[in-house]
C-alpha cells in the first residue's frame, strides 16, 4: 500500500461502477493509439492520465500569441531557469510551452548517474511536445541484435511490422518521399516538404560522393495535404509555423489530443480520467491474472481501484517501469512479471551529443518561404549489413541550412540606423548537422525504486542509473569525422565540431526496461507485447523496446501499440485472456 499521504477510499463507487473492458495507463502517443484501437473494437475503455486534462484547441493558451504577447518575449526568466536546471536544457521548453512540462520539483527522482528526465503530465502527454520525426525501422534494425549479439533477438521482423506501420501512417498522416532505400523503407506518405536550395545542393553533392549513403528529405508527422481520414478527425493542413510545442489549433501535426483520443471518444466507448496517478497493477492470485489498477487522485490523494479484463501500460518508458516495479504481490514480489529479475534493466537511449556547424558561400540571391518542420536526413550507414567498425551499430544524421539576419559583428556598430537596417536584411547561409546514435542496451543501465524516498502520492521515487560507455565515445568520434567530411564535400566552410556532453535523457528517447523477446528467461514481454507470465497485461511504449535502432522511435511505438491492441481483442474474443 502507498505511504502516509494515501487516504483510504478503496473501490470508491463500487466494483461495478469501476469496471471496464480495458484500462489504458497513459494518454500520450502510445496510450492514445491503444485507446483508439480498443474503443473502435467496441471495448469500454478507461484511459488514466496522471496529469491535467487538455482539450484540443481549447487548452492551447499560447498557440496564437505573438512574441510581444509574452512578458519575456518567449524566454524563460532567469529565476525560473535556475529553479528548473534539468527542464531548462530541453530544446522545446520556453515561456510559450512551459505549461506542458513537469517542473523539476513537481515529481523528483534520484539520479545515481546524471539523467535529464523530461516529462509532460497532461492528457496527450509528450505527443504535444515531440519533434514529430517519423521513420520506419528497416529489416536491419530488427535483425541487428541477433546478428551482433549485443541484446536479445527481436521476436518480430520488419515484414511482420510493415502492415502495422502502414496502419499507423495512414491515420496519423506522415509526409515523406518514396526514396526506395532498404535502410529506411518507404511508407504511406503524404506529399513531402521541399528542401531549400542549399539543402538540395548539399544532398546532391553528398549523394554523388558516396556509394554507401543517401541523404533524403526528412519524414515527419505533419499534414502537407490532408486525406479524408484526417479531415474526418477534424484536422487541417500544417501551416508551417513551427510553434508546435504550444499545441496546434489546426491539428496540423499528429497528437493524441487532435487525433486518437477524439476518435476514440466518438465511439462512445471512452472514459477519460485525468489527475489519476497510477500506483500499481492489481494481480489476483486465484485468477492467475491482473484484474485492475490502483489509482491515487492527484489532488485529494484518495485511492480508488479500477477493474478490467485487459490492461495496457503506456505511461512512457520510465514511468511504465516505475509502475511495474511498484506492482508487487505474492506472485510477483519483485515487480510485475519480474520472475527473471530483468525489470528496469537494459535501459537505452539515443546519443545526441555530436553536432557540427558550418557556413556555405553563395546563394545570396535566394531565400525560402515558411518554416518547414523538417530538414534533410541520412539513414545509418555503419554496421548495416555486417559488423565492420570498431564500435557496435551506428547513427543516422539530420542536417539543415538557413539564413539568419545580417546582424553586425566585429567593428560594425550595434547601435543606430545601420544596426536597424541589418536586422531586416538576410545574412549568409549557415548549416547545422546532428547525430542520432544508437546506444547498446546494458544490464548496468537500469532504473529501480528508492528504498527510502517517496513522492507526494506515497510511491517510491525512481532511481536512474544510466550512462554512456566507450562504444558511445567511438560512435561520437566517427560521426564528427564523417560529418566534417560530408560537409566539406558539400562545399561548407568554417566547420566546427561540438560535443554537448549532455546527460542521457535529454534525447527524450529512453527505451527498454521491460523488453520483448521469445525467451521468458531473458525478456518480459512476448512478440505481441504481453507479459510472458500474465497475458492480459501489455506494454507498448518505449519500455518494451529491445534496442533503439538509429531512427526516431514514435512511429514504431504507434505500430506496436495498434498491433498489440488488435491481438488483445482477438484473444479476448477467444477467451484466452
The per-residue pLDDT for 9 is 40
Segment 176-223, tens digit of pLDDT: 999 999 999 999 999 999 999 999 999 999 999 999 999 999 999 999
The per-residue pLDDT for 84 is 97
Segment 417-446, tens digit of pLDDT: 877 777 778 889 999 999 999 999 999 999
Spatial distance between the Cα atoms of 394 and 400, rounded to a whole number of angstroms: 21
Q: Check pLDDT > 60 for residue 509.
A: yes
Spatial distance between the Cα atoms of 349 and 467, rounded to a whole number of angstroms: 10
The per-residue pLDDT for 13 is 56
Non-local CB neighbours of 179 within 8 Å, separated by 6+ positions: 186, 214, 216
Q: How confident is the model at residue 250 (pLDDT cuts 50, 70, 90)?
A: very high
The per-residue pLDDT for 361 is 94
The per-residue pLDDT for 416 is 80
Axis crossing angle, helix 554-574 with helix 158-172, rounded to the nearest 10: 100
Mean pLDDT of 473-485: 98
CB 123 within 8 A of CB 51: yes
Axis crossing angle, helix 197-209 with helix 470-489, rounded to the nearest 10: 110
How many helices (H) and strands (E) are present in the chain, helices listed first?
11, 23
DSSP letters spanning 307-331: E-SEEEE-S-HHHHHHHHHH---SS
Phi, psi of 13, deg, nearest 5: 90, -5
Give the mean pLDDT of the chain.
95
| Domains defined for the chain, CATH in brackets | 177-217+353-439+468-502 (3.30.410)
Spatial distance between the Cα atoms of 65 and 131, rounded to a whole number of angstroms: 20
- E strands present in 60-214: 110-111, 174-175, 189-190
Q: Check pLDDT > 50 for residue 576.
A: yes
| Residue percentage of the chain with pLDDT more than 90 | 92
What SS3 class is residue 483? helix
The per-residue pLDDT for 417 is 80
Q: How confident is the model at residue 409 (pLDDT cuts 50, 70, 90)?
A: low
Segment 149-162, tens digit of pLDDT: 888 999 999 999 99
Q: How confident is the model at residue 411 (pLDDT cuts 50, 70, 90)?
A: low
Measure CA of the first residue to CA of the last residue in the chain; give whole Å.
27
The per-residue pLDDT for 82 is 96
Task: Tell me the pTM.
Answer: 0.95
Non-local CB neighbours of 187 within 8 Å, separated by 6+ positions: 136, 165, 166, 169, 174, 176, 219
Q: Check pLDDT > 50 for residue 470.
A: yes
Mean pLDDT of 106-114: 97
What SS3 class is residue 290? strand
Amino acid at each position: 500500500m502507498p505511504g502516509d499521504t494515501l487516504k483510504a477510499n478503496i473501490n470508491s463507487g463500487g466494483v461495478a461502477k469501476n469496471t471496464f473492458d480495458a484500462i489504458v495507463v497513459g494518454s500520450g502517443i502510445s496510450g492514445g493509439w491503444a485507446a483508439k484501437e480498443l474503443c473502435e473494437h467496441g471495448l469500454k475503455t478507461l484511459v488514466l492520465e496522471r496529469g491535467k486534462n487538455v482539450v484540443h484547441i481549447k487548452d492551447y493558451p499560447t498557440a496564437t500569441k505573438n512574441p510581444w504577447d509574452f512578458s519575456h518575449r518567449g524566454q524563460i526568466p532567469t529565476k525560473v531557469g535556475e529553479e528548473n536546471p534539468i527542464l531548462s536544457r530541453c530544446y522545446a521548453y520556453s515561456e510559450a510551452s512551459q505549461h506542458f512540462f513537469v517542473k523539476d520539483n513537481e515529481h523528483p527522482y534520484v539520479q545515481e548517474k546524471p539523467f535529464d528526465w523530461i516529462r509532460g503530465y497532461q492528457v496527450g502527454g509528450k505527443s504535444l511536445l515531440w519533434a514529430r520525426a517519423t521513420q520506419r525501422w528497416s529489416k536491419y534494425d530488427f535483425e541487428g541484435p541477433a546478428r551482433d549479439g549485443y541484446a536479445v533477438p527481436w521476436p518480430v521482423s520488419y515484414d511482420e511490422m510493415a502492415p502495422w506501420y502502414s496502419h499507423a501512417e495512414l491515420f496519423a498522416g506522415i509526409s515523406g518521399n518514396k526514396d526506395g532505400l532498404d535502410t529506411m523503407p518507404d511508407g504511406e506518405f503524404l506529399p513531402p516538404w521541399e528542401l531549400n536550395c542549399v539543402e538540395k545542393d548539399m544532398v546532391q553533392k553528398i549523394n554523388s560522393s558516396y556509394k554507401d549513403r543517401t541523404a533524403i528529405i526528412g519524414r515527419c508527422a505533419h499534414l502537407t495535404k490532408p486525406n479524408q481520414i484526417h479531415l474526418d478527425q477534424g484536422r487541417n493542413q500544417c501551416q508551417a509555423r513551427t510553434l508546435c510545442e504550444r499545441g496546434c489549433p489546426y491539428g496540423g501535426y499528429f497528437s493524441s489530443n487532435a487525433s486518437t483520443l477524439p476518435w476514440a471518444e466518438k465511439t462512445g466507448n471512452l472514459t477519460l480520467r485525468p489527475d489519476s496517478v497510477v500506483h500499481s497493477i492489481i494481480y489476483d492470485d486465484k485468477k492467475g491474472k491482473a484484474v485492475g489498477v490502483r489509482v491515487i487522485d492527484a489532488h485529494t490523494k484518495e485511492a480508488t481501484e479500477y477493474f478490467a479484463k485487459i490492461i495496457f501500460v503506456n505511461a512512457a518508458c520510465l514511468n511504465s517501469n516505475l509502475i511495474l516495479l511498484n506492482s508487487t504481490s505474492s506472485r510477483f514480489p519483485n515487480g510485475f512479471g519480474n520472475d527473471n529479475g530483468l525489470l528496469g534493466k537494459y535501459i537505452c537511449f539515443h546519443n545526441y551529443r555530436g553536432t557540427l556547424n558550418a557556413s556555405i558561400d553563395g546563394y545570396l540571391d535566394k531565400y525560402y518561404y515558411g518554416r518547414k518542420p523538417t530538414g534533410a536526413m541520412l539513414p545509418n550507414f555503419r554496421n548495416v549489413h555486417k559488423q565492420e567498425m570498431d564500435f557496435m551499430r551506428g547513427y543516422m544524421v539530420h542536417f539543415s541550412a538557413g539564413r539568419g539576419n545580417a546582424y553586425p559583428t566585429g567593428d560594425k556598430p550595434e547601435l543606430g540606423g545601420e544596426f536597424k537596417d541589418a536586422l531586416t536584411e538576410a545574412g549568409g547561409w549557415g548549416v547545422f548537422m546532428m547525430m542520432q546514435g544508437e546506444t547498446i542496451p546494458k544490464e548496468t543501465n537500469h532504473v529501480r525504486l528508492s528504498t527510502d524516498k517517496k513522492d507526494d502520492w506515497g510511491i517510491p521515487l525512481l532511481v536512474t542509473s544510466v550512462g554512456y560507455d566507450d562504444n558511445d565515445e567511438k560512435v561520437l568520434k566517427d560521426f564528427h569525422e564523417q560529418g566534417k567530411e560530408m560537409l566539406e564535400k558539400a562545399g561548407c566552410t568554417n566547420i566546427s565540431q561540438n560535443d554537448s556532453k549532455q546527460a542521457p535523457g535529454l534525447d527524450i528517447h529512453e527505451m527498454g526496461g521491460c523488453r520483448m523477446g521469445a525467451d521468458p528467461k531473458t525478456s518480459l514481454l512476448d512478440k505481441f507485447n504481453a507479459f510472458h507470465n500474465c497475458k492480459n497485461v501489455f506494454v507498448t511504449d518505449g519500455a518494451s523496446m529491445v534496442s533503439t535502432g538509429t531512427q526516431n522511435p514514435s512511429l514504431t511505438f504507434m505500430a506496436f501499440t495498434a498491433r498489440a491492441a488488435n491481438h488483445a481483442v482477438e484473444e479476448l474474443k477467444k477467451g484466452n485472456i
